Amino acid sequence: MPTRRARIPATRYPVERFTLDNGLRVVLTPDRSAPVIGVAVVYDVGIRSEPEGRTGFAHLFEHLMFQGSENLEKLAHFRYVQGAGGTFNGSTHLDYTDYFETLPSNALERALFLEADRMRGPRLTEENLRNQVDVVKEEIRVNVLNRPYGGFPWLTLPPVLFDTFPNAHDGYGSFDDLESATVADAADFFRRYYASGNAVLAVSGDIDTAEAVTLIERHFGDVPARPAPDRPDFAEPDLTAERRTAYADQLAPLPAVASAWRVPDPVGDFASYLPYVVLAEVLTDGDASRLVERLVHRDRAVTTVGGYLGIMGDPFDVRDPTALLLQAHLPPGGDVDKVLRTLDEELDRLAQDGLADGELARTQARMATHLLRDTDAVLGRALRMAVLEQQRGEPGLLGELPSLIGEVTDEQVRAAAATLRPERRASVEVIPGGGSR
Amino acid sequence: MSTRSVTTPRRQLPPLGPTRRLKLPRQAERTLANGLTVIVVRRPAVPLVELRLWMPFGRVNLARGHLLTQTLLSGTETMSSVQIAAELQKIGGGLSAGLDPDRLMISGAGLATGLDRMLELLAEVLTGANYPAGWVGVERDRLVDGIQVARSQPGHLVRTALLRRIFGRHPYAVQTPDPEQVRAVRPAALRSLHAQRVHPAGAVLVLVGDLRPERALDAAEKALGGWHGDGHPADMPPAPPLEPGPLWLVDRPGSVQSSMRVALPAVPRTHPDHAALQLANLVFGGYFSSRWVENIREDKGYTYGPHSLIEHSVAGSVLVAAADVATEVTAPALLETTYELGRLATVPPGVDELEQARQYALGTLQLGISTQAGLASLVSAYAGNGLRLDFLAEHAARLAKVGVDDVTEVAARHLAPSRAVTVVLGDAERISASLATLAPVETAPVQ
């Protein structure tokens, strides 16, 4: 008897979109249930756009956007946001860079002022650049160099999966490249990519739409108009033969492996892409998922296994080319070859036999919870909608994702699994302690 | 770009709008006959429910306690682990268990329509977990591997040393079990620990989300009314006062950073000094716009993410300032840290500086309760101190009253460098001589 399907709930957020004369696109999504707002500005530039010889520059530049601007001294941005009771941050991704605040709603105009001011121009000085190169180096040390499995797999798998510089290089950057960065580089980068026509502003939460429109026009209306640069094509052909590398991590006590397969274009072919997002969860979400049951509990071949879409785990915020990733940590003396063979076996089984009764529905219900939970935070809504506007012109997609995921069929997941063949796979293995295998 | 600001008239920062009053959500509470307290808070923003359940779990055998949290959901008489996980997934749910030195905590979230079923499954494991040998064996090995990985991380190693230095012979001093002890734990020991300690008396269940409070209380009573077991006497001794002494240096040869941790005395949430100490901590290093972060990151570039935080436990509270700094600037970073602590303990902060910290403290209270997950965690943590959500409003009122002199006074009592306990993990060969110019240094073992 087929299992009753859990009803996938929908949350429809109201969405207003408009474009200012200078080309800045704006998304508003009001929700007055709590007196807080989320403000996000997303620029259509990321790691893939940084020039050769300047690895890590998109991220370094993100730091420079916090170092003062036309009307704001260094430190002022932080103090004004936090002094209004808010929090802030920014982050650099493959295809975009975001800047954001969560604030009590009485600080709306202040947040708009702060974002508009740095959109007009950050204060790019030699002193601030040197200071932030030092800070970024410490960030890389704490997140990569001074810890086990640093950068695994988000920095170590792309060079195996991809061949071209934009897709393959280290997005945190080499110390040499970071130290060679100049104020002139930063000014060029700003002029080229931080254009009003290349940005999206999103505001969510406790706002009156009409008032927000007035304030946005007041603060962003006179940001000089500059068009978006042409976005290069980052496409690369799919793999035709398996690729596999290994490296020693002196700090890692146990082996680990990650594999990736290219997937359809997340933006241009969303309908074909979505089943892969579901497949990753069917394989790895919780004790009832296929790979956890098989690899962790039955075979005891791995201690943890995870799967996701997008090198940075951002399935709906990434453009082509991207991948489905599986990663596993192994017990002492674990056999990576055997783990990869078992992956193939389980993917074959799924491709041939399809899903068990109820397996897809329960996975979809769990995915709905994760999506709804992420969008419960006002900032989650502003950020996701800003990127959806930028990459697809479709911010309202956020509210539809749970039901679209719920419409993915057994047959689509089965077909997706059938494409994850070993000859299309790129893998990277971590050899613990630099010892022999 | 900088030339523009010379010729363009400066734009004025817009003022803040009127402050919106703190509005607490609707809540209901019931203590069941078995001693379980259930607190329900309605926030219907998304059609989900957040669940937090904690029970007193102090002074358990560490290895058994940790393995119990890893295996609590691994099966009952009628359900296997995979069935439990699959049944939870059906309602978009998931549960996980964790341990701190005071409590066992079960948390999760699921679709609001699945609340009754989530509570049923929770009751199933609370009353019937049977720790099957096969699963316990797998989870035992995974826990041992996890401890081994943790021990390769500088953050874990310096934390371990700091706890030992702060707490000495107190039970809080060791919070990670030894792998050998974990390997020795058998399923029977887990069953017996469960029978002794997984009890409703003194436990608190928090449900937050798109639910009707009275109906959710009834659902919790129906599902969990049959869970039995007496309370366990709370015998956690008070934490010892911090004993200042030589800096502890833990050697990690080849480390490219030094992990610096400075512990200072703090007070619980209910203490009259709590609000002033919270603001003093913010001014010192508790948020980005603090003296310490502006100094060692934004001015000197020594570090990426320095932060200082007050940690509350049942037996006591402690303030910990943490920074991972480049090896070559370890001593200079400690010097600046001592300077900033000393300055706050001896010179009153600026009025604007205090006001900025106060606005941050008040604003982040609003932000913290604006999500279901944030609200659930806060209500659960407050309940751990015997407090309810109303405390938020009282605390806001206290924050509003703190003056410059109050901050100086608490800083002198709590943030003075003479009261600090310092632990540094790093490449001893490269940092010990320069650290010794600032403080007596004692070398401490890694584990």
Q: Taking 90 as the threshold, does the pLDDT of residue B143 lie above it?
A: yes
Closest CA to B414 of B286, B296, B251, B324: B286
Cβ-based neighbours of B239, under 8 Å, separated by 6 or more: B166, B167, B170, B172, B313, B315, B316, B318
d(CA B415, CA B338): 10
Q: pLDDT band for position B20 (50/70/90)?
A: confident
- CB atoms under 10 Å from CB of B31, counted, come to 12
Cβ-based neighbours of A271, under 8 Å, separated by 6 or more: none
* CB contact B238 to A (< 8 Å): no
- pLDDT given at position B75: 97
User: Cβ contact (<8 Å) for A104 and B93?
Assistant: no
Secondary structure letter of residue B7 according to DSSP: H
Cβ-based neighbours of B102, under 8 Å, separated by 6 or more: B56, B57, B58, B236, B313, B314, B315, B384
User: DSSP characters for B160-180?
Assistant: HHHHHHHHTTSGGG--S--HH
d(CA B341, CA B46): 43
Q: Nearest-CA residue of chain A relative to B135?
A: A297
- DSSP, collapsed to helix, strand or coil, labels residue A274 as helix
Secondary structure letter of residue A257 according to DSSP: E
Which of B13, B114, B154 minimises the CB distance to A113?
B13
Q: Taking 90 as the threshold, does the pLDDT of residue B7 lie above it?
A: no
Q: pLDDT band for position B5 (50/70/90)?
A: very low
- pLDDT given at position A130: 98
pLDDT more than 70, % of chain A:
98
- DSSP, collapsed to helix, strand or coil, labels residue B330 as helix
Secondary structure in 3-state letters for B40-69: EEECCCCCEEEEEEEEECCCCCHHHHHHHH
Q: Per-residue pLDDT tens for A131-160?
A: 999 999 999 999 999 999 999 999 999 999
- pLDDT given at position B48: 97
Q: Per-residue pLDDT tens for A160-169?
A: 999 999 999 9
d(CA A115, CA A78): 12
* CB contact A303 to B (< 8 Å): yes
Lowest model confidence (mean pLDDT) among A167-181, B65-79, B223-237, B250-264:
B223-237
User: Cβ contact (<8 Å) for A84 and B256?
Assistant: no
User: Cβ contact (<8 Å) for A141 and B256?
Assistant: yes
Give the domain ranges of chain B: 27-224, 247-444
Chain A positions touching B41 (Cβ under 8 A) are: none
pLDDT more than 90, % of chain B:
93
In degrees, to the nearest 5, what angle opens at C-alpha B417 toward C-alphas B413 and B422?
120
* CB contact B302 to A (< 8 Å): yes
User: Cβ contact (<8 Å) for A78 and B303?
Assistant: no
Which of A7, A34, A375 minimises the CB distance to B370?
A34
User: Cβ contact (<8 Å) for B82 and A303?
Assistant: no
* CB contact A190 to B (< 8 Å): yes
H-helix or E-strand spanning residue A366: helix A359-376
Pick among A60, A110, A369 to test the B interface (most B CBs inside 10 A): A369
Cβ-based neighbours of B71, under 8 Å, separated by 6 or more: B129, B131, B135, B136, B139, B190
Please indicate whether the domains covering B27-224 and B247-444 agree at the CATH topology level. Answer: yes
* CB contact B214 to A (< 8 Å): no
User: Cβ contact (<8 Å) for A147 and B325?
Assistant: no
**Where does residue B157 fall: left (phi above 0), alpha (psi -120 to 50 degrees), or beta otherwise?**
alpha
Count of helix runs (H) and strand runs (E) in chain A: 16, 11
User: Cβ contact (<8 Å) for B89 and A362?
Assistant: yes
> Taking a C-beta distance cutoff of 8 angstroms, is the pair A44, A219 a contact?
no
How many A×B Cβ pairs under 8 Å? 252
Q: Nearest-CA residue of chain A relative to B1?
A: A121
Which of B4, B48, B84 minimises the CB distance to A372?
B48
User: DSSP characters for A141-195?
Assistant: IIIIITSTTTTTTTTTSHHHH--SHHHHS-SS--HHHHHH--HHHHHHHHHHH--
User: Cβ contact (<8 Å) for B148 and A253?
Assistant: yes
Class of A243-432 in CATH:
alpha beta
d(CA A109, CA A86): 13
Q: Indicate the pairing of strand A323-329 with strand A256-262.
A: antiparallel
Secondary structure letter of residue A206 according to DSSP: S
Count of helix runs (H) and strand runs (E) in chain B: 17, 12
CATH superfamily of A16-220: Metalloenzyme, LuxS/M16 peptidase-like (3.30.830.10)
Token reading at B150: 């943790």
User: What are all long-range contacts of A271-274, with beta carbons under 8 Å and residues at least 24 apart?
Assistant: A273/A309, A274/A404, A274/A405, A274/A408, A274/A412
Sheet containing B316-326: order of strands: B307-313, B316-326, B257-265, B421-426, B247-251, B441-444
Which segments of chain A belong to CATH 3.30.830.10?
16-220, 243-432
| E strand spans, B57-171 | 94-99, 103-111
d(CA B65, CA B293): 37
Lowest model confidence (mean pLDDT) among A27-31, A205-209, B7-11:
B7-11
* CB contact A31 to B (< 8 Å): yes
Rounded CA Rg of chain B: 24
Fold of B27-224: Cytochrome Bc1 Complex; Chain A, domain 1 (3.30.830)
- pLDDT given at position B22: 83
- pLDDT given at position A1: 38
Helix, strand and coil content of chain A, in percent to the nearest 5, comes to: 45, 20, 40
Q: pLDDT band for position A65 (50/70/90)?
A: very high
- pLDDT given at position B23: 87
Nearest-10 crossing angle of helices B187-197, B62-71? 90
d(CA A403, CA A7): 9
d(CA B63, CA B70): 11
- pLDDT given at position B232: 75
Q: What mean pLDDT is predicted for residues A42-65?
A: 97
Distance from CA of B193 to the nearest CA of A (A): 24
CA B128 from chain center: how many Å? 29
- pLDDT given at position A437: 34
- pLDDT given at position B445: 81
In degrees, to the nearest 5, what angle opens at C-alpha A345 toward C-alphas A342 and A347?
110
Chain B positions touching A377 (Cβ under 8 A) are: 370-371
B442 bridge partner residues: B248
Q: Nearest-CA residue of chain A relative to B361?
A: A85
- pLDDT given at position A10: 74
Chain B positions touching A120 (Cβ under 8 A) are: 4
Chain A positions touching B366 (Cβ under 8 A) are: 34-36, 85, 104
Q: Taking 90 as the threshold, does the pLDDT of residue B73 lie above it?
A: yes
Token reading at A151: 């950068």
Compare A141 and A3 and report the one with higher pLDDT. Answer: A141
Q: pLDDT band for position B87 (50/70/90)?
A: very high
- DSSP, collapsed to helix, strand or coil, labels residue A254 as coil
Q: What mean pLDDT is predicted for residues B365-383?
A: 97
> Taking a C-beta distance cutoff of 8 angstroms, is the pair B264, B242 a contact?
yes
Q: Taking 70 as the threshold, does the pLDDT of residue B240 lie above it?
A: yes
Q: Nearest-CA residue of chain A relative to B108?
A: A369
Pick among B8, B70, B152, B183 to test the A interface (most A CBs inside 10 A): B152
Q: What mean pLDDT is predicted for residues B376-395?
A: 96
- DSSP, collapsed to helix, strand or coil, labels residue A103 as strand
How many residues does the structure list for chain B? 447
- pLDDT given at position A166: 98
Q: What mean pLDDT is predicted for residues A390-418?
A: 97
- pLDDT given at position B274: 98
Which of A105, A108, A376 minimises the CB distance to B46?
A376
* CB contact A125 to B (< 8 Å): yes
Distance from CA of A204 to the nearest CA of B (A): 13
- The CATH number that domain B247-444 falls under is 3.30.830.10
Q: pLDDT band for position A5 (50/70/90)?
A: low
User: Cβ contact (<8 Å) for B13 and A304?
Assistant: no
Distance from CA of B145 to the nearest CA of A (A): 7
d(CA B428, CA A136): 24
Closest CA to B83 of A127, A223, A366, A286: A286
- pLDDT given at position A11: 76
Q: pLDDT band for position B446 (50/70/90)?
A: confident
In degrees, to the nearest 5, what angle opens at C-alpha A399 toward C-alphas A96 and A414?
85
Nearest-10 crossing angle of helices B351-368, B404-414? 80
User: Cβ contact (<8 Å) for B1 and A122?
Assistant: yes
How many residues does the structure list for chain A? 437
Token reading at A298: 């039955």
User: Cβ contact (<8 Å) for A123 and B1?
Assistant: yes
* CB contact B285 to A (< 8 Å): no
Q: pLDDT band for position A2 (50/70/90)?
A: very low
d(CA A401, CA A412): 17
User: Cβ contact (<8 Å) for A141 and B287?
Assistant: no
Q: Nearest-CA residue of chain B relative to A184?
A: B1
Chain B positions touching A375 (Cβ under 8 A) are: 46
Q: What mean pLDDT is predicted for residues A369-375?
A: 96
| pTM score above 0.90 | yes
Q: Taking 50 as the threshold, does the pLDDT of residue B6 lie above it?
A: no
User: Cβ contact (<8 Å) for A104 and B363?
Assistant: yes
Interface of B with A in 405-444 (CB under 8 A): none
> Taking a C-beta distance cutoff of 8 angstroms, is the pair B102, B118 a contact?
no
